[in-house]
Structure 1
């Protein structure tokens, strides 16, 4: 799968069960050949603001990626501060800083509170942009959705940095 034209698709939910349902629908759509997803996670933010990465099934939606590394890339692209809170290492920190700075310069409005306010959930997926419309439609129970382009260079560098620290990230995310 090419990583030249990537998109981040986010669905926001007031109801965690609806997010879980749409995540399963996302997996089923990929399994039936409707589209390909590079990685996806369900995030749940409690009323106190604590975020948990939820994953339904034994693997991320993406093909063959270790769950921790795949989840780390998806979370890092969606909300760099969330990954920074669990990930250590200068390489990861530098990439997250670049992603955050790029978002600020582009004045993107997809910050954490817009799509994962306290007491809500989100399905976050990284896809080739040719599948973005189909993936967004699969998130049909979402209260709101957004699709934004991802810098392929950011994706690849973050993926490499996380791969170098995958065991640490898996341990932190699962703790």
Structure 2
């Protein structure tokens, strides 16, 4: 990914059903060849602040260390504190402080309280910059939308950390 200019695109919603509809529209546009998506998830945050991440391609809800690497990268770049709350393992732990600091300095990610407050949902996607406007426009039912440049090196670093963490957790569970 180091050769791409990546954008984080976020659509915020008042309810999960509307977020799911826009996610399906987003994936339909990708299938039609309108744009390419590096990774995308639907995130739902309940009234208590607990977050569920759903990769609808597989139809599985991901929680904790079982979160797929692609979903983990999207969540981590959207809001490193959410990744820290859902991830286990030294691989993520070694890199999360770096991303949390950058997030707090507004250099990376998006304000989770603004785009995913308790009781709401969001569609979060990573795309090449040439597709950012089209992907943002595809989220037609979103209450709010934002596109923000991310560093592809950060994407690569986060992906490696999450893959390492998943391997460590898998190895620990197998013993």
Shared fold per TM-score greater than 0.5: yes
Runs of 4+ in 1 over 4 A off after TM superposition: 167-170
Residues 59, 128 of structure 1: CA spacing in aligned structure 2 closer, same or farther, 3 A cutoff? farther
CA distance in 2, matches of 1:59, 1:153: 29
1:8–1:147 Cα contact (<8 Å) kept: yes
Residues 122, 48 of structure 1: CA spacing in aligned structure 2 closer, same or farther, 3 A cutoff? same
CA distance in 1, matches of 2:15, 2:115: 13
Q: RMSD across aligned C-alpha pairs, in angstroms?
A: 2.4
Residues 106, 51 of structure 1: CA spacing in aligned structure 2 closer, same or farther, 3 A cutoff? closer
Specify the alignment match of 2:6 in structure 1.
6
TM-score normalised by the chain length of structure 1: 0.84
In the TM superposition, residue 99 of structure 1 has moved relative to its aligned partner by 1.9
Specify the alignment match of 2:37 in structure 1.
37
TM-score normalised by the chain length of structure 2: 0.84
Aligned residue pairs, count: 165
2:38–2:128 Cα contact (<8 Å) kept: yes
1:40–1:74 Cα contact (<8 Å) kept: yes
1:59–1:67 Cα contact (<8 Å) kept: no
